[in-house]
Amino acid sequence: MQRLPTLPRPLRVLVAAMFAASALPAAALDLDALWDFGQPALSEQRLRAALADARGDDALVLRTQIARTQGLRGDFDGALAELAAVEPALATAGPQASVRFHLERGRARISPVHDDAARTPQALAAARADYLAAAEIARRSGLDDLAVDALHMMAFVDREPADAMRWTQQALDLALASPQPAARRWEASLRNNLGYALHDLGRHDEAVAQFRAALALRIERGQPERVQAARFSLAWALREAGQLDEALAILTALDRAAAAAGRPDAGVLEELEAIHSARGDAAAAAEAAARRRALRP
């Protein structure tokens, strides 16, 4: 079992957004009711309980999701073994089972939580083939949300900023063109990902615009936890763009809210330290640094 690498906070926000964005559409099988992406072990228990009474394509889909819970916990070998057991039945299965099989096999090979050592040429080629197969089957079958999911995962195969931006833009274009609510729900997360790609290309003002749009969508949809993450990402992008006053205002508000809730946030304090340093306020930077260090176990 591979161990998950420790990620810097901006990337953790991205990863969290990415997994949360993979909103599973309601169908005859209600996967939404079974999934809690923050608790993959609990999700596996629910999925296995549902599998006991499932037949046909429903059983295949559930097994792909069990593989996904394993991948989320870093057990990529276990995920691949589960999917290998599913593969022979796909010849007579419907498109959703096939799409989810390719999606999850791709994620078990290359995803944001794989470390660099796992990114071998063979793994990259195999993941690329799976994601593109998932996207093609999904688009052909009218499963727009799953097609968006597959395209957005390609940005984690081709990680060069220009390539990541190209794949993310393709996913966003499909989401915006789709009449399906499940596909449209991807917009906020895709704009978030696009913001990171633009940042990596040095296009800071455009990145800020995408993070602003993502935050506005989160607020509009009434998603408090995701709103907080989106505010943090916007503040990070503003700092990177040199727009320190607005970044400071956002982070100060986040810091106060976290303190009031009794959950001080080390990432917010780290950003506050960086902003105060950039503004030349050594005393405020030192105070934020001291508070952050005090949170260490």
Of 163, 103, 110, nearest in space to 133 by CA = 103
- Give the C-alpha separation, 43 to 82, whole Å: 16
Phi/psi zone of residue 110: left (φ > 0), alpha (ψ -120 to 50 degrees), beta? beta
Kindly report the number of other CB atoms within 10 A of residue 37's CB atom: 17
Residues 6+ apart with CB under 8 A from 125: none
pLDDT (tens digit, 9 = 90+) per residue, 50-109? 999 999 999 999 999 999 999 999 999 999 999 999 999 999 999 999 999 999 999 999
Which architecture characterizes domain 9-241 according to CATH?
Alpha Horseshoe (1.25)
pLDDT for the residue 28: 64
Of 208, 1, 200, 205, nearest in space to 108 by CA = 1
- Give the C-alpha separation, 140 to 158, whole Å: 23
pLDDT for the residue 289: 96
pLDDT for the residue 118: 96
Residue 194 token pair: 């696009």
pLDDT for the residue 297: 67
Residues of the chain with pLDDT under 70: 1-28, 297
Residue 29 token pair: 């099988």
pLDDT for the residue 254: 97
- DSSP conformational letter for 28: S
- Give the C-alpha separation, 75 to 2, whole Å: 6
Helical H segments across the chain, by residue range: 9-21, 40-51, 56-72, 76-86, 95-109, 121-141, 144-157, 161-177, 181-184, 187-200, 204-220, 224-240, 244-260, 266-278, 282-294
What 3-state class would DSSP assign to 52?
coil
pLDDT for the residue 42: 96
C-alpha 95, offset from chain centre: 24
